[in-house]
């Protein structure tokens, strides 16, 4: 068994310089410290930078792209699109609402692979704008896929379709006061107080900010199926 210390880069460096570093015993044996670990298919590192997770996903996607390139002459477009969803899109979507938008460079790396897949499926040249490719395939760019899954996650939480753990995290503004304000009746959520730019990149803060920016009629939809359809149309448009 192993353990991992989580913190910012500065706190990790300060901890490593201290003489009284963390030591955990289990059944009389000292646990060894690791810098990263894989949990339910996601690689978590001690700084929550998600660099190793991005490298892992890029490697998996690149391998699948190589396979698609070899079989492209033998398949029609609809079959290529189906294989893309099974082999590549599933890798990009898995828990992307958590690790997908930590850094701008992460999204660019993954969207580059996504564009390469689109050109391969449509047999388009390098100079074809990616916007046209995605529109033709009815795809969302990776950064909008992250937005999509974050909004769907919040929608499930506020409609009691997710774990009870999040009941006290995503609170409607109307529950904090009794004033009939426009901000309270439009389905907005309470945005946690933020003192640092680092916290603004966290999942909770960025997800709530994104939710509050949605159109009011979209936030008030109760059906998950209807919400997903209208949300995708909104993000594509």
Taking only the tens place, the pLDDT of each residue in 123-179 is 988 888 999 999 999 999 999 999 999 999 999 988 888 877 877 788 888 776 555
- What tokens were used for 170? 């995503």
Is the separation of the CB atoms in 12 and 47 below 8 Å? yes
Cα–Cα distances in angstroms (integers) from residue 119 to residues 43, 68, 69, 90, 226, in the given order? 29, 12, 11, 19, 31
Task: Look at residue 186 in the predicted model and tell me its pLDDT.
Answer: 72
Q: Which of 23-27, 97-101, 119-123 has the lowest mean pLDDT?
A: 23-27
Each residue's pLDDT tens digit, 83-93: 999 999 999 99
- With tokens 């899954």, the residue in question is 149
Position 181 pLDDT exceeds 70: no
User: CB 83: neighbour CB atoms within 10 A?
Assistant: 19
The pTM assigned to this predicted structure is 0.86
Asked whether the beta carbons of 191 and 205 are under 8 A apart, the reply is yes
pLDDT band at 187 (very low <50, low <70, confident <90, very high): confident
- The secondary structure of 23-53 as a DSSP string is --EETTEEPEE-SEEEETTEEEETT---HHH
Please compute the mean of the pLDDT values over residues 14-33 and round it to a whole number.
78
């Amino acid at each position: 068994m192993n353990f991992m210390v989580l913190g910012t880069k500065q706190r990790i460096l300060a901890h490593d310089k201290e003489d009284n570093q963390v030591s955990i015993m289990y059944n009389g044996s000292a646990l060894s410290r690791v810098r990263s670990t894989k949990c339910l298919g996601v690689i978590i590192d001690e700084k929550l930078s998600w660099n190793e997770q991005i490298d892992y996903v890029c490697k998996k996607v690149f391998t699948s792209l190589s396979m698609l390139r070899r079989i492209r002459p033998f398949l029609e477009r609809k079959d290529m699109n189906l294989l893309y969803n099974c082999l590549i899109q599933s890798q990009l979507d898995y828990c992307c609402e958590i690790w997908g938008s930590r850094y701008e460079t992460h999204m660019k790396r993954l969207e580059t692979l996504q564009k390469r897949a689109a050109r391969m499926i449509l047999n388009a040249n390098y100079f074809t704008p990616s916007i046209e490719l995605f529109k033709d395939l009815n795809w969302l760019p990776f950064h909008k896929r992250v937005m999509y899954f974050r909004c769907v996650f919040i929608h499930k939480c506020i409609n009691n379709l997710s774990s009870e753990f999040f009941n006290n995290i995503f609170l409607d503004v109307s529950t904090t006061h009794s004033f009939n304000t426009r901000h309270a009746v439009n389905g907005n959520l309470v945005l946690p107080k933020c003192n640092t730019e680092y916290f603004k990149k966290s999942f909770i803060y960025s997800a709530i900010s994104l939710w509050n920016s949605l159109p009011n009629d979209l936030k008030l939809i109760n059906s998950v199926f209807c919400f997903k359809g209208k949300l995708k149309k909104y993000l594509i448009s």
